[in-house]
Amino acid sequence: MYGLKQDWGQRTPPRYFFLEDYVSDVPRWCSGCGDHSVLGALQRLARDEQLAPEKTVVVSGIGCSSRLPHYMKTYGFHGLHGRALPIACGVRSRRPDLDVFVITGDGDCCAIGTGHWIHAIRYNMKMAVMLLDNNIYGLTKKQTSPTTKLKGRSNTHPDGSPLDPINPLSVTLSVANVSFVAQTIDWNPPHLYATLQAAHRHPGFAFVRVLQRCPHYTPEVFEPVQKDRSLVLYLSHKKGIQVDGAVSKLFKNQAEHDPSNLAAARAVAERADAYPIGLLYQKPETPRYDLLSARGLDTPPAARIQAINRLLDSFQI
């Protein structure tokens, strides 16, 4: 107000976000579900990276894991079954200023969403994608999913799944323009967090498969892996996922793997003797479609209308 003494040179102090700034509703997942670990890691990541809640969006499809946007105090979009990735691509195309995270499951991504999954990899738009893989349809009460192991029992195949499962790592690594593929486990929070951090910082489509426990329907899948650490292959490299030395020492089964080597990444993904965790492949310079689709976003509305009218006039006979 005129006449009042004001320090017009005073600057507004920068905002600082605490963990509770990203915590929304109480999660409604089963006790011991790996989804809790992923949610906690994502909330800590948002705090540590100081992501503005109003500039962060979490997109999901349908499934147990896809409830995660409800528990983040950010923008969220709970989409249709299998449609998380095209929604996220649309968000990235028109709002390049946002941090985009995608939560999907082995059924949501690898079954009804397979076509979108493949093309999203090829588009390589900047977003961090988490495939929470528990080898089962959990939300609809234990049906065989595309990643259910051979002979794995479910309500749709009580005598055991008759087909070999899809390998999400191999599929992703086989798509043209792939730029980031990693795998982690929900029961090792430091490695999970470091992997999500690397995915968020990657300039492109970062695909992270999270081996996720479902203690209610598939406890037999990952219990042996938790008890026998030799069933986990820890990938180490100066360009890979970086964790504290005390964490890396937990894994006796280790291999030096260069994530810039696509052929080696494909070979590691096919390992049947152990689950590889770490960064399998990264190519930061891979072309991004969202940089192309973002052109013209600053065009004034009047100029856009004129351009549309010119285009429509070109169809006149």
What is the pLDDT at residue 295? Answer: 83
Question: Mean pLDDT throughout 292-310?
Answer: 89
- Of 184, 187, 185, 105, give the one whose Cα is nearest residue 138: 105
pLDDT of 1 above 50: no
pLDDT of 317 above 80: no
- The domain locations on the chain are 19-313
What does the CA dihedral 171, 177, 179, 180 come to, rounded to 10 degrees? -20
Determine the Cα–Cα distance for residues 111 and 130; give it in Å rounded to an integer.
Answer: 16
Domain at 19-313: CATH code: 3.40.50.970
pLDDT of 235 above 90: yes
pLDDT of 117 above 90: yes
pLDDT of 218 above 80: yes
Determine the Cα–Cα distance for residues 66 and 260; give it in Å rounded to an integer.
Answer: 31
Question: Mean pLDDT throughout 253-276?
Answer: 97
Question: Mean pLDDT throughout 295-310?
Answer: 90
pLDDT of 34 above 90: yes
What is the pLDDT at residue 8? Answer: 59
DSSP reduced 3-state for 77? strand
Confidence band of 14 (pLDDT split at 50, 70, 90): confident
Per-residue pLDDT reduced to its tens digit, 47-69: 999 999 999 999 999 999 999 99
- Mode of pairing for the β-strands spanning 180-185 and 232-236: unpaired
**What's the pTM?**
0.91
What is the pLDDT at residue 6? Answer: 55
Confidence band of 10 (pLDDT split at 50, 70, 90): low
